[in-house]
Chain A
Amino acid sequence: MLDITTTLEQNNGADRLSIPFIAHVECNQLVNRGPHFQIPVRASYTGMKKTYSVEVSGFRLTTEHVNNVPTLIERLMEGVTRLGRIPHYVFIARDAGVVYPVYTIDDEVLAPTPYGPLFQHIELAVVRKRLGDYLHDIKVLGAKGRTDKFHVRGVDRHTLQLVRPIFYLKKRDVTKEDDFWAPVFRSKEGGHIYAYAASDRREAVIDSGKEVLVLHNLVANVLKDDGRLTNKFDLRPDRLFAEMWEQLKATLIDNGDELTVSGVSIPIYTAADGVTIGLEARLDEERYSLFLGGDIDGVREQAAADFARRGIGV
Chain B
Amino acid sequence: MKMLKAKRLIPLFAALVLLMGVVSTASAQEYGTFSVDEIAFAIDNFVMFICAVLVLFMQAGFALVESGFNSGKNTINILFKNLMDLSIGATLYYLIGYGLMYPGFAEGSAGILGFGQVGIPDGTLASAVEGGYLPLPQVDFLFQVAFAATAATIVSGAVAGRMQFRAYMIYTAVLTGLIYPIAGSWKWGGGWLDALGFYDFAGSLIVHALGGFAGLAGAIFLGARIGRFNKDGSANPMPGHNITSATLGVFILLIGWFGFNPGSVLAMTGEGATIAVVITAVNTLLAACTGAFAAMICSLFIIGKPDISFALNGMLAGLVGITANADSVSNSSALIIGLVAGVIVVGAMVLLEKLRIDDPVGAWPVHGACGIWGGIATALFSDVATLGAQLTGSVVYAAWGFGTMAIVFAAMKAAGILRVSEEEELEGLDLSEHGAINYPEFVSGD
B124 at the interface (CB under 8 A from A): no
Cβ B230 vs Cβ A118 within 8 A: no
CB distance from A255 to the nearest CB of B (A): 42
Task: Please measure, in the bound complex, the distance between the C-alpha atom of A105 and the C-alpha atom of B363, giving whole angstroms.
Answer: 30
Cβ B426 vs Cβ A130 within 8 A: no
Task: Please measure, in the bound complex, the distance between the C-alpha atom of A112 and the C-alpha atom of B231, giving whole angstroms.
Answer: 18
Which of A120, A133, A137, A175 is close to B237, meaning CB atoms less than 8 Å apart? A120
The digit string for B233-249, where 1 denotes a CB below 8 A from any CB of A, is: 01011110000000000
A134 at the interface (CB under 8 A from B): yes
Residues of B within 8 A of A138 (CB): 226-227, 422, 426
Majority DSSP secondary structure for residues of A touching B: mixed
Which of A113, A115, A133 is close to B230, meaning CB atoms less than 8 Å apart? A133
Closest to B230 in A: A130
Which size class do B's interface residues fall under?
Answer: 10 to 19
Cβ B236 vs Cβ A118 within 8 A: yes
Closest to B72 in A: A115
CB distance from A136 to the nearest CB of B (A): 10
**Which residues 13-52 of A have a CB within 8 angstroms of B?**
none
A227 at the interface (CB under 8 A from B): no
Which of B71, B227, B236, B422 is close to A120, meaning CB atoms less than 8 Å apart? B236
B177 at the interface (CB under 8 A from A): no
B401 at the interface (CB under 8 A from A): no
A311 at the interface (CB under 8 A from B): no
B356 at the interface (CB under 8 A from A): no
Residues of A within 8 A of B228 (CB): 117
Cβ B226 vs Cβ A118 within 8 A: no
Given A133-B231, A138-B422, A138-B426, are A119 and B226 also a contact pair (CB < 8 Å)?
A: no
The digit string for A84-128, where 1 denotes a CB below 8 A from any CB of B, is: 000000000000000000000000000011011111100000000
Task: Please measure, in the bound complex, the distance between the C-alpha atom of A300 and the C-alpha atom of B215, giving whole angstroms.
Answer: 56
Task: Please measure, in the bound complex, the distance between the C-alpha atom of A177 and the C-alpha atom of B248, giving whole angstroms.
Answer: 37
Residues of B within 8 A of A133 (CB): 230-231
B428 at the interface (CB under 8 A from A): yes
B208 at the interface (CB under 8 A from A): no
Task: Please measure, in the bound complex, the distance between the C-alpha atom of A115 and the C-alpha atom of B225, giving whole angstroms.
Answer: 12
Closest to A113 in B: B227
Closest to B73 in A: A115
Residues of B within 8 A of A115 (CB): 71-73, 428
Task: Please measure, in the bound complex, the distance between the C-alpha atom of A175 and the C-alpha atom of B230, giving whole angstroms.
Answer: 11
The digit string for A126-144, where 1 denotes a CB below 8 A from any CB of B, is: 0000100110011000000
B232 at the interface (CB under 8 A from A): yes
Interface set of B (CB-CB < 8 Å, partner A): 71-73, 226-228, 230-232, 234, 236-239, 422, 426, 428
Closest 9 CB pairs of A and B: A117-B236, A117-B227, A115-B73, A115-B71, A118-B237, A130-B230, A134-B227, A116-B227, A117-B238
* Subset of 29 A-B contacts with CB under 8 Å: A112-B239, A113-B227, A115-B428, A116-B71, A116-B226, A116-B227, A116-B238, A116-B426, A117-B236, A117-B237, A118-B236, A118-B237, A118-B238, A119-B236, A120-B236, A120-B237, A130-B230, A130-B234, A130-B236, A133-B230, A133-B231, A134-B226, A134-B236, A137-B226, A137-B227, A138-B227, A138-B422, A138-B426, A175-B232
